[in-house]
Amino acid sequence: MAARNLPPDWTELPDEKLLSLRLSDLPLRIEGTVLEGRIKQLQAELEARELRFPAHFYISSEWFTPDGTVSMAIPFYLAHPRLERLEKAQMLAVEGGDHDWCMRILRHEAGHVIDNQYKLRLKRRRRLIFGPSTLPYPEFYDPKPYSKSFVQHLDPWYAQAHPDEDFAETFAVLLTPESDWRVRYAGWPALTKLEYMDELMQGLRGRQPAVTSTREIDPLRSLRYSLRHHYRRRRRRHGLDHPEIYDPELRRLFSDAPEYANNMIAAQFLGKMRRPARRLVASWTGIHQYTIDRVFEDMIVRCKELKLRLAVPEEQARNEFTVLLTVQTMNYLHSGRHRMAM
């Protein structure tokens, strides 16, 4: 099926019209974008460790590395600033949208490529240390915020999702320049994984890959559904279509009523108290600050969506919201909602 003709000014379309375009119609390429320089940086980091890396990069709907290949899929929105803005509007964040975040993901995916190209999952010691790759991938996973058996590279605790993700995360930490991983993970069980990874990569210096397939799965040209469909599916997967659970509590402190139109915007107020409140709740409960911050972020996003403003005195709002954050974080942990979408 041939691609539809795009209007020459497609980048100037409002979001609602842009969402009607099919992914396969988007005239995107890696060359000439910020991705090109970031890929070159990744390749330089691998060359510094004398690792052969004949990877093939292509554009798809999201980040992934097809099994049994040296291909790496990069999400379409990173190939054009207009699509980054759409991603931010639809998903509230742009995964890999800045240089450091993008490099973290590229290093992670490079771990999968290295795993594929040398068939490392077949190694007995690799299976003993990280677990078998044959375990099925879960639709959701239950992170353990306090575990020191896993490195911390991508959010949220992604190394815990599956043995292959644990491998890729550990590789990414090792590859990161100046990561000082021996000091950072001293005393952690995860250090054993890093030391094994370091030994394994030293043994692969200069070796020719056993796998060189550049097969593509779901390249952009094959994705003949609309951006609207794409984002509806992603929002369902990440639970962004059900943020209303916080509404009753938020409306006790904030309001969208006309009489509060000149008051401080609720999201702005919460942003100012985010760090101290997060630390305070962590000290009260012993809950990891990242867990608290996920709940905090959900509530800030909901305040933005509802266009809420401060409806009580600031001191009262600070005190009552801190209690609310504590309660909702405990609910988040104990209700099973802390399972992370893959």
Looking at the DSSP bridge assignments, the partners of residue 163 are none
- 236 φ, ψ (degrees, to nearest 5): -65, -45
Angle among Cα 247, 248, 249 to the nearest 5 degrees reads 95
Collapsing DSSP to helix, strand or coil, 195 comes out as helix
Rounded CA separation 310/212 (Å): 58
Beta strand 140-141 with 340-341 is antiparallel
Helix (H) or strand (E) holding 59: strand 56-60
Of 22, 73, 43, 37, which is closest to residue 223 (Cα–Cα)?
22
pLDDT of amino acid 306: 94
pTM for the model stands at 0.77
pLDDT of amino acid 342: 54
**Residues in contact with 255: Cβ distance below 8 Å, sequence separation at least 6, in sequence order:** 308, 309, 311
Residue 33 has pLDDT above 90, yes or no: yes
CA atoms within 13 A on the CB side of 320: 14
pLDDT of amino acid 235: 75
pLDDT of amino acid 290: 67
Residue 341 has pLDDT above 90, yes or no: no
Residue 2 has pLDDT above 50, yes or no: no
Retrieve residue 175's tokens.
């590859």
Tens of pLDDT, residue by residue over 243-279, are 577 899 999 999 999 999 999 999 999 999 999 999 8
Residue 147 has pLDDT above 90, yes or no: no
Helix (H) or strand (E) holding 12: none
Cis before 156? omega within 30: yes
Helix (H) or strand (E) holding 239: none
Question: What average pLDDT score do residues 320-334 get?
Answer: 81
Residue 340 has pLDDT above 50, yes or no: no
Helix (H) or strand (E) holding 310: strand 309-310
The DSSP line for 254-322 is EE-SGGGTTSPBHHHHHHHHHHHHHHHHHHHH---HHHHHHHHHHHHHHHHHHT-EE-S-HHHHHHHHH
**Residues in contact with 196: Cβ distance below 8 Å, sequence separation at least 6, in sequence order:** 125, 126, 129
Residue 81 has pLDDT above 90, yes or no: yes
Residue 88 has pLDDT above 60, yes or no: yes
Lowest mean pLDDT among 91-100, 163-172, 178-187, 284-293: 284-293
Residue 129 has pLDDT above 90, yes or no: yes
Query: Is the model more confident about 239 or about 148?
Result: 148
Query: Is the model more confident about 161 or about 308?
Result: 308
Query: Is the model more confident about 294 or about 60?
Result: 60
Residue 330 has pLDDT above 90, yes or no: no
Looking at the DSSP bridge assignments, the partners of residue 340 are 141
Residue 143 has pLDDT above 80, yes or no: no
% of the chain at pLDDT higher than 70:
90
Contact 287, 306 (CB under 8 A): no
- 268 φ, ψ (degrees, to nearest 5): -65, -45
Beta strand 140-141 with 71-75 is unpaired
Contact 335, 288 (CB under 8 A): no
